[in-house]
């Protein structure tokens, strides 16, 4: 990447401050762009879901990995639970979504409470492991809440074999105007479900899978306690990437934690952070990090910059840290502050191998929280920062009241934020579609067929606030 007219800006910049200039392109189609990462995580998309309790759970992990990204399970989750999540995610089908299963005698009320957990907005009614119908929200309208689902379900859903060609499934569903198809194995047992869009996506994305074909997943450890034991347990559980994570990554505890993790000879990439300087990046890499997590204060839930004045505008932070990591043959993830597809493209242009997203994915069906509605009927989920009073209270729940009170004084995150679901894009895969189309298109504007070429070829200029504003679409006339 280089700056337009080679004019090195005199001050630090964030995503909104910069733009990319189109260049001659020999790439005929946006589908000719390969978005696979080269950082050893095996992700086929440059997307990592941030280790935040309100965002990164097992549903998020299976859904994102099916499309090629990877989710980091937070350090606050007890290790036996993480091990269960890893087992679960690795046992998921790489094409079909995991359905909600109901027995025929469960009630409409139960169906309605569970269906919002899935973007496909339906549940499969199962008897002895075999599907006997599908129930959607539409089937439950104006029905007694205590009615049994077998009374309202569609008893003859589109049913396909687990080895069916997704393109043919797409066409069959289109012809039948069906919302979901149910996949079964040779014995008629339920394997999963597929929407029309899911069938399309199955032809466009490659799942991030390990050597055994299981979906990939990462997990985080903090820098306190017995880091080596926790890391060893996570590796034993089968994580595909280990993330050593703390607010201020350029500190002795982090360097000691990294040395302890490196001593385990992990056969998976180790990511560590957060830092925002060349010096910090070099220190973490020297201590054993394969990937450095970059970003102090850009996160949507983060109050660090307001509390401390510390941090660095994210575009410049990623640019400087990526340059250092690249010199040393390592990688960076751009962590935090990503709110539009353009931010992902700019982070990759600056040299990140992947982009970490938290809050943007909080307002989706796949995040762990319950779907709530405000007084205007808009759907949202509650999110919170990992350094918020709420997260600190969770994290320290086994400590003495005195220690908890002491740690509770250092609050650098929001404890409760409403993340609204975009009615046009309520699922994380809808957001992934949007991001990938933006990034693929950005690559062709730069004449790049891979992310490495994209980083090499991009020309970045600095814009005024009016320049940024000009790029925003207008919903009504001015
Ligand atoms: N990217 C970002 O901008 C930030 C991210 N976060 C996220 O929040 C989560 C919790 O992180 P964290 O607060 O580090 O909690 P941790 O539980 O990881 O503890 C951090 C340790 O570092 C010590 N420490 C020393 N200086 C600092 C400092 N300036 N800020 C924080 N800890 C410090 C703390 O000791 P003591 O408490 O005694 O001081 C504590 O022992 C992580 O997921 C982290 O990524 C948090 C803040 C900023
Ligand atoms: N200073 C804080 N930073 C936090 C907190 N919780 C998470 N984070 C950081 O934000 C990113 C995600 O950024 P987003 O804009 O996509 O939401 C995450 O990976 C952390 O580095 C917090 O409480 N305080
Ligand atoms: K912020």
Sites in the chain below the pLDDT cut of 70:
none
Contact indicator for 344, 45 with CB cutoff of 8 Å: no
What ranges in 125-209 are assigned the alpha helix state H?
A: 149-152, 166-176, 196-204
CA distance 429 to 305: 31
Same domain for 118 and 83, yes or no, is no
CA distance 448 to 443: 5
CA distance 243 to 346: 23
Q: Is 296 in the pocket of ligand 1 (CB under 6 A)?
A: yes
The reply to whether 295 sits in an annotated binding site is yes
| pLDDT reported for residue 301 | 95
Q: C-alpha angle with apex 332: 228 to 285, nearest 5 degrees?
A: 50
Domain boundary among 182, 203, 224: 203
Q: Is 73 in the pocket of ligand 1 (CB under 6 A)?
A: no
**Total structural domains in the chain?**
2
Mutate to test the pocket of ligand 2, among 47, 302, 334 (most ligand atoms within 8 A of CB): 302
The reply to whether 245 sits in an annotated binding site is yes
If you measure from the C-alpha of residue 417 to the centroid of ligand 2, how many angstroms do you get, rounded to a whole number?
Answer: 13
**451: which strand partners?**
none
- Residue 454 domain boundaries: 2-92+207-366+423-470
Q: Tell me: the pLDDT tens digits for 275-291?
A: 999 999 999 999 999 99
| pLDDT reported for residue 209 | 98
If you measure from the C-alpha of residue 465 to the centroid of ligand 3, how many angstroms do you get, rounded to a whole number?
Answer: 18
Atom of ligand 1 nearest to the CA of 295: 1
Same domain for 83 and 157, yes or no, is no
Same domain for 442 and 351, yes or no, is yes
Residue with tokens 């393109």: 167
Assess if residue 377 is contained within a domain: no
Q: Tell me: the pLDDT tens digits for 398-422?
A: 889 998 988 888 889 999 999 999 9
CA distance 308 to 311: 8
The ipTM value here is 0.93
The residue contributing the CA closest to ligand 1 atom 18 is 246
Same domain for 216 and 68, yes or no, is yes
Same domain for 196 and 261, yes or no, is no
Same domain for 194 and 211, yes or no, is no
Q: Is 321 a catalytic residue?
A: no
CA distance 415 to 235: 31
The pTM (predicted TM-score) of the whole model is: 0.96
How many Cβ atoms from other residues are within 10 Å of residue 174's Cβ? 11
**H and E: helices and strands count for the chain:** 18, 20
How many Cβ atoms from other residues are within 10 Å of residue 80's Cβ? 10
Assess if residue 409 is contained within a domain: no
Same domain for 192 and 117, yes or no, is yes
| pLDDT reported for residue 350 | 98
Long-range Cβ pairs for the range 97-100 (8 Å, 24+) = 97/63, 97/66, 97/192, 97/193, 97/194, 97/195, 97/198, 98/59, 98/62, 98/192, 99/123, 99/124, 99/182, 99/190, 99/192, 99/193, 100/124
The reply to whether 34 sits in an annotated binding site is no
| pLDDT reported for residue 408 | 85
Q: Is 290 in the pocket of ligand 1 (CB under 6 A)?
A: no
What ranges in 115-214 are assigned the alpha helix state H?
A: 149-152, 166-176, 196-204
Contact indicator for 54, 369 with CB cutoff of 8 Å: yes
Same domain for 35 and 182, yes or no, is no
| pLDDT reported for residue 11 | 96
Atom of ligand 2 nearest to the CA of 391: 23
Closest ligand to residue 336's CA = 2
Which CATH number does the domain housing residue 176 bear? 3.10.580.10
Q: Is 288 in the pocket of ligand 1 (CB under 6 A)?
A: no
**Burial, 375: exposed, middle or buried (Cβ in 10 Å; 0-12, 13-18, 19+)?**
exposed
Assess if residue 408 is contained within a domain: no
Closest ligand to residue 221's CA = 1
**461: which strand partners?**
19
What lies within 8 Å, CB to CB, of 380 at 6+ separation is 363, 371, 372, 373, 374, 418, 419, 420, 421
Domain boundary among 203, 225, 241: 203
Domain boundary among 203, 219, 250: 203
CA distance 288 to 265: 10
Same domain for 289 and 347, yes or no, is yes
302, 321, 436, 443: the active-site residue: 302
Pairing between β-strand 354-357 and β-strand 47-49 as defined by DSSP bridges = parallel
Q: In angstroms, what is the C-alpha Rg of the chain?
A: 23
Assess if residue 234 is contained within a domain: yes
Same domain for 53 and 117, yes or no, is no
The reply to whether 172 sits in an annotated binding site is no
**123: which strand partners?**
100, 135
| pLDDT reported for residue 409 | 87
Assess if residue 396 is contained within a domain: no
How many Cβ atoms from other residues are within 10 Å of residue 92's Cβ? 21
Q: Is 217 in the pocket of ligand 1 (CB under 6 A)?
A: no
Same domain for 238 and 296, yes or no, is yes
Contact indicator for 86, 219 with CB cutoff of 8 Å: yes
Q: Is 71 in the pocket of ligand 1 (CB under 6 A)?
A: no
Calculated CA dihedral for residues 96, 217, 207, 44, nearest 10 degrees: 160
Assess if residue 155 is contained within a domain: yes
Assess if residue 345 is contained within a domain: yes
Assess if residue 311 is contained within a domain: yes
Same domain for 38 and 136, yes or no, is no
- 106 three-state secondary structure: coil
- 194 three-state secondary structure: strand
| pLDDT reported for residue 397 | 85
Q: How far is CA 14 from the centre of its chain?
A: 21
Closest ligand to residue 299's CA = 2
| pLDDT reported for residue 39 | 97
CA distance 99 to 178: 16
User: DSSP secondary structure string, 256-304?
Assistant: HHHHHHHTT--SS-EEEEEE-SHHHHHHHHHTT-SEEEE-SS-STTB-H
Which CATH number does the domain housing residue 448 bear? 3.20.20.70
| Dihedral pair phi/psi, residue 220, rounded to 5° | -105, 150
């Amino acid at each position: 990447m280089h700056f337009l007219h080679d004019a090195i800006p005199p001050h630090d910049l964030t995503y909104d401050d910069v733009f990319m200039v189109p260049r001659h392109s020999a790439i005929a189609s946006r589908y000719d762009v390969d978005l696979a990462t080269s950082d050893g995580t095996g992700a086929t998309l440059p997307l990592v879901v941030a280790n935040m309790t309100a965002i990164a759970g097992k549903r998020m992990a299976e859904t994102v990995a099916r499309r090629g990204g990877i989710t980091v399970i937070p350090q606050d989750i007890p290790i036996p639970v993480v091990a269960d999540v890893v087992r679960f995610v690795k046992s998921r089908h790489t094409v079909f979504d995991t359905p909600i299963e109901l027995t025929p005698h469960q009630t409409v009320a139960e169906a309605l409470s569970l269906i919002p957990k899935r973007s496909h907005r339906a549940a499969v009614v199962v008897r002895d492991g075999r599907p006997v119908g599908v129930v959607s929200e539409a089937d439950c309208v104006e029905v007694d809440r205590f009615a049994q689902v077998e009374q309202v379900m569609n008893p003859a859903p589109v049913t396909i074999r687990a080895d069916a060609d997704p393109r043919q499934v797409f066409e069959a569903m289109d012809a039948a105007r069906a919302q979901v198809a149910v996949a079964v194995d040779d014995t008629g047992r339920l394997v999963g479900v597929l929407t029309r869009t899911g069938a399309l996506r199955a032809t466009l994305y490659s799942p991030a899978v390990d050597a055994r074909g299981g979906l990939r997943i990462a997990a985080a450890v903090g820098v306190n306690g017995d880091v080596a034991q926790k890391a060893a347990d996570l590796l034993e559980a089968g994580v595909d990437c280990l993330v050593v994570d703390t607010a201020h990554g350029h500190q002795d505890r982090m360097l000691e934690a990294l040395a302890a993790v490196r001593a385990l000879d992990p056969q998976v990439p180790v990511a560590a952070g957060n830092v925002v300087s060349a010096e910090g990046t070099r220190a973490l890499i020297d201590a054993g990090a394969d990937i450095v997590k970059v970003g102090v204060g850009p996160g949507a839930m983060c109050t660090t910059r307001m509390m401390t004045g510390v941090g660095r505008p994210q575009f410049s932070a990623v640019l400087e840290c990526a340059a250092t990591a690249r010199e040393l043959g390592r990688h960076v993830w751009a962590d935090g502050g990503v709110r539009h597809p353009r931010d992902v493209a700019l982070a990759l242009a600056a040299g990140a191998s992947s982009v970490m997203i938290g809050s943007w994915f909080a307002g989706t069906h796949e995040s762990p929280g319950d779907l709530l509605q405000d007084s205007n009927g808009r759907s949202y989920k509650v999110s919170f920062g990992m350094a918020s009073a709420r997260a600190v209270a969770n994290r320290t729940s086994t400590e003495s009241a005195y220690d908890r009170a002491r740690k509770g004084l250092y609050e650098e995150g929001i404890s409760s934020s409403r993340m609204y679901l975009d009615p046009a894009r309520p699922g994380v895969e809808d957001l992934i579609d949007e991001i990938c189309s933006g990034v693929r298109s950005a690559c062709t504007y730069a004449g790049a067929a891979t992310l490495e070429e994209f980083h090499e070829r991009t020309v970045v200029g600095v814009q005024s606030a009016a320049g940024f504003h000009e790029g925003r679409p207008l919903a009504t006339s001015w």
